[in-house]
Structure 1
Amino acid sequence: MNQSEIEVMFASGAGLRIEESRGLLNIVVALPSSFNETDWRSWDETEEPFFWETTTQGPVLSRYDKCSTQYRTVGLLGTFNGDPYDDLTTPDCMEIRTNYPQSEADARNVYYEFGENFADDRYTPLFDPWLHSNYSSWSGLIFTREEVKVLCQGVPACEYDFMSSGRREDALDTLEYERKFELKKQKGEIRVQSCGPLVKSKGVLKYPSGNNYLHGITVTFSCKPEYFLHGEQQRTCVNGTWSPGWWPWCRERTEETALKWMTGILSSVAIILAIVVVFIWCAMEGRRRQRDFIRGRKLQSSLGQDESHYPPKRRQNSLDIQLPTCTYTCIPTLIFFMAWNPE
């Protein structure tokens, strides 16, 4: 399994994406709208006695004080409140304004006025990119400041990694991560409709992996090699609804093979029984007809012996024979028969 990219989703909705390249880590934090600011002044005061005791920071109701609002994201993550100007807020509630793309002066200000205020005093930073910016030793390095600017295309993070590591590859990786981050941010600003998670049983594998349930996504299910898949193999998200189909589940191949053999045996036995029943019915029906035929012959022979004791009767025409068996519906037929048979 490729461990160079890991995505972690928390129950709170926050997500982490960690990527590794050449021994360096790139970490992206994604937060839902529920992490937006919570203004103390918009809260209704509660009568619970433990409310103020469990609050770590008391409200400061000054109109112009930045600390009068409590935020769920502070520090290097910035202030998540929809206002880009206060993203760089120091621990003493001072706002550091900067432009993007940043100039060297803006970058210096961010580094010294904002970044160093959140530094851990127990550790020393690896590199200060502006400590020797005007020092003549730049000319002795394997790269020039102009080369750094051309390669990084004005991206401060790329320039920092190039100067701190001295490796062109690290700078290019950082530049690629910055571009990927901008693309993800643009995609994240587009409102999409989700179909919600799909129900699947234990052992079912899903591709693509992750919590991707957006419009147009086709999810393919499979099982581990020792299992057999049942249900719909593919489902597509269309306008917030998954395409119809049974939820997927897996069964062990040994159990699947045993059930198939049992089904085949039972089906064969049922077919054989049906054929035997048909043959038995045909034999019984044949015997019944044979008995009826023999009984009829005996009855005819006995009637013939009885009629031999009487004088011969006058020959009846065919009309006399059929007339007693006719009804009113037979009249047209009788007329036709009389015209055809003059007797």
Structure 2
Amino acid sequence: QSCFQVSSYSSSMLGGRALQILGLTLPPDGRLLCRFKGEIEQQGIIDEEGHPYCISPLLYETGWISFDVSTDGTNFNRSGEYLSVHPSKADPSFEVTLVNSTLWQNYGTPNMAGQLTMTWNSSLIESKRVNVELWGYREVSRSTAGSSSLQAEISYLYSLGRNISNTGDFSFFPQPREKFSMWELGNIRITASSTSEGERNVQSLWSGGHVLAWHLEQSFRDDPSAWAQRKCLQWDDLERKLPDFLDELIDCPCSLAQARADTGRFHTDYSCNIETGSVCTYHPGSVHCVRAVQASSSHGSGQQCCYDNTGALVLTGDSVGGSTPDRAHDWGSPPYGEPPRVPGFSHWLHDVTSFCYCCLWSDLCHVYLNRRPSSGCRRYQPPKAGVVFGNLHFITFDGLSYTFNGRGEYYLFLSTDKNLSIQARTEQLKLKNVAMKENSSDVIEVRTAGDHLQVLRNQKILPFTEQRWMDLQGVFVFAPSPQNVTVIFSSGAAVELRLHEGAMTATVLLPVEFSNHSLGLLGWMNSDPSDDLTTRSGEVISANATQEEIFTFGAAWNISNMSSLFTYDSHYLLDSYFFPLSHDPAFVPAFSLPLKPDDTLAADMLSMCLGEGAQFCIHDTLISRSLAVGNATLRAYQHHQALMEALKPVVSCGWLPTPRNGKKNGTHYLEGKTLSFTCNEGYILYRSTERTCLQEGTWTGEQPYCITAINFLKLNEQNQLLSLWTLSKCL
């Protein structure tokens, strides 16, 4: 069976995008049958020039989707794959834009009325006339063999416009739809007018998912607050019957710095992103939110953590804009097709529509927050980070630094217990490739390719021209720029690769669960740097070893052909790394580089290489004879130090409530912070007026109460009597 590539290579999981099969030309009147995942068959398209296309189908999952094609209707002898992505991550130029999304989502509530408008790129639908359709999403209970389970359903509901001119915009005045009012979440779809209403898997454009306030029943228009209150209380009653998912969620990082640095377990929530200045609609008062990358194992739930402009974690106990966990992870999780694990839709159904009912359309937000309380950060432990940078300088997870200038392929990190292997290929005193795998995940390899990093999945190049984030088998890959790649594994381990001035830096972040389960060049992670230079046999090399002894230690961590994860896709790589020993014994670096007084680089180098990390900067400047290389090394070291500062553990004493009929001054709950309490007029503060968070993670004082003067006198009398009684017992 022959393989092919497609262009474009990605599509929203809602489907409808034409995927051109490259390297194949067919007669315009020929036959093309496309089969996705071995089960979804549909007719392909052949244009006038003989270019064949398959239309991506509507799916309930993300990731690389395999498909094959037949040109005779029987033999499927050509295969390829495309990337199915979360609707919010699809190419926005292929999306139907809902103009004034706030009006769309809140239509029918006070001051929300009038005409609704949508726009799209008319050139993407090759038809002079189009249909405008509404599709709905729900999760329904299905009974099979005596048991019931939820099943995801995306269905055509009705058309807003038929056979209208394809001008790229459409407006209408929405009317209540009693018959379809039970569908409260959905999408707009634009198709050519030649297609049948509701026909699946045809070339089309989709809007983003949204709450369908604009088509709800007349009773919603008559009294939206009362309608929403009923819905909120119904949701609350349903939540009471569902399994508790909160206990299995990871705690939030305590600070914004930690949240942005812990890339193995948390990733930016694009709806509240400090880097783009997005408005945090669902978290007012926050400036940045992150989501836990992994969904919880049992329930497919997600954690969301939000921070204010001081970098402090915002909690729902203090603000409606606080961090809220999700019953359904926004990005979904395997097995994707089963609710509540459907990417995007399950989250909107279980967590967003209810927010609209309780918080946006009625005054019952306390009901919502009672079911979605912030977890806080008392149990959060930041990861440990190890790095290799510059002309092969290493800083271990426990902070030991050394230089190993070997040429070959080595274990950066190895854990047989956790089944994670991270391997490094070095050449000419530089890091060239990093390959990695955890359990049965895809093998990911990142290598330098001129001025950018190239990513391979199972020895095939991954393109990042359309997508920055990819959901793969057991691993995620995020490439925000051609010089920056982060690989994220299911365990929460992450590998960050950065390229600057031709030099690759690799940072490995490991959760504390990897303590005492790490081997390789980045050391034995146990908070003790003295045993970081541990050999395969368990022998510990002194941290004060000579450069020659360290070189021998590093060389012994070479990999074998049997254990190699690397790609050898050229004669050069085969001859240099595959056939010879994986450590080149003929290459012996210079172990010392004395600075000569008459060196022309000396003055500029010494003025540049200052402060912490100067020794690495000087070493690399001298060995490369390049100030740019030395500066790149210094910057890499400084980046690592900033990362270590961001990941410093902090102590949280946990949230404190505001006394009833009083006020709490302060919302920071970390070590050294002090909260003060006051009472409203007519009330007296009983117990502590201030409480300070101690290093042990406990608060000083006692929880205060605001009570009336009469009750205050009664309590004092009771306390005096209790003291006298206690004293009499002691006499």
Q: TM-score scaled to structure 1, two decimals?
A: 0.37
Higher gyration radius (CA): 1
Decide which structure has greater strand share: 2
> Which structure carries more relative contact order (alpha carbon 8 Å, separation 6+)?
2
Decide which structure has greater helix share: 1
